[in-house]
Amino acid sequence: MYSCIVIGAGPGGIVAVKELLEKGIKDVLCLEQSDTLGGVFANGYDNLILTSSVTFSMFSDYWVGEGMDH
């Protein structure tokens, strides 16, 4: 039995699972309909260019560093 089920392994779902685990909820299940993580970011087209900044998108507890935008 799961304490929580997260629907979708896109950016929001991944963050939701991370936060639930950090709050001590151990039995978390994340369901994703595709075979890859990342949601629309993983299922984009080959020459997709995102305008999101690494500095603003990274986790506060997983520091990438300044000037790492690609």
Pair of tokens at residue 65: 């560093």
Predicted TM-score of the model (pTM) = 0.72
How do residues 20-42 score in pLDDT, each as one tens digit? Answer: 999 999 999 999 999 988 887 78
Encode pLDDT of 54-69 as tens digits: 777 777 788 776 655 5
Q: Could you give the CA distance from residue 7 to residue 29 in angstroms, rounded to a whole number?
A: 9
Cβ–Cβ < 8 Å for 69, 55: yes
Which two structure tokens, joined as six digits, stand for 50? 């995102």
d(CA 35, CA 41): 13
The beta strand positions in 8-67, using DSSP E, are: 28-31
